[in-house]
Amino acid sequence: MRLTRDQIATARSFLFVPGHRPDRFDKAAASGADVVVVDLEDAVSAADKDRARGYVSEWLEHGNAALVRINPFETTWFEADLDTAMRYGCPIMVPKADSVAALADLGWCTAGKCDLVALVETAAGIERANEVCATAGIIRLAFGNADFGAEVGVAPNDHLALTYARSKLVSASAAEKLAPPIDGVTISIEDTVALNADIEHASRLGFTGKLCIHPNQVPIVSDGFAPSESDRKWARTVIEAGESVTRVNGQMIDKPVLERARRILGA
């Protein structure tokens, strides 16, 4: 079983599971998350890297579908991680995605086998977002708010401080005709107020999905990025009025408004 490009492009909830914890793989798959992300990078210590890769390979061998977060290009584990993902045709989450040349090489190497999700988590990555989006093989961006916040010296949950970075990813994705990006993590696992606030903020900026670090976050994220019933009602009213109508309930209706209504009903 393999995740399709369309599944990744439309997914709202992405649940990380540590690669060295095979006891959690099936639980993650049963969580209701749109995409399970088996993590070979940050969640796994150096001593456990090879063992984690073996666990992930065994799980994928049994036909399970996942997005694999590999280790960065410059690490000693990169090649083996890449080989594992390519063996099973898994989409790959690329951390520290800020070298366009390295991404282009990876896109060439994996062409036709593995789609790439670029995890942008450095200042260089943010500033090169358009080039990253335009690189062959990249199908969606994700925001690494924790690492980016640490690099620029702000808290990873500071909405105001990270607005520029988030908006840059949204704009770059739209400019290169990619699906809207995936927002970063909410570190406070049990704080549903903070999670909902993060979802609302990211959604207003144009994100349509979010990275999760605990199964309890999954249903909240999935619901939070779904169009509200009032949005769907509005969209149905616009579509049912027909393309020749120029005003609905006092609102001007033109091509961009019709396209937004279609996107809502297609979500």
Q: Which amino acids are annotated as binding site for Mg(2+), given as ranges? A: 121, 147
DSSP H or E run through 24: none
Q: Which pairing describes strands 13-18 and 35-39: parallel, antiparallel, or unpaired?
A: parallel
Residue 142 near residue 118 (C-beta atoms within 8 A): yes
Which residue type is seen at 102?
Answer: A
| Number of residues that make up the chain | 267
CA distance 218 to 76: 33
Q: Which two tokens stand for residue 236?
A: 């149905």
CA distance 160 to 249: 34
CA distance 146 to 230: 33
CA distance 253 to 73: 48
Binding residue numbers for substrate: 69, 121
CA distance 44 to 21: 9
CA distance 102 to 235: 42
Binding residue numbers: 69, 121, 147
Determine the distance from the C-alpha atom of residue 99 to the mean position of all C-alpha atoms in its chain, rounded to a whole number.
Answer: 19
Among residues 145, 116, 113, 140, the alpha carbon closest in space to that of 129 is found at 140
Among residues 155, 92, 145, the alpha carbon closest in space to that of 121 is found at 145
CA distance 16 to 148: 18
Q: Which two tokens stand for residue 51?
A: 């063992």
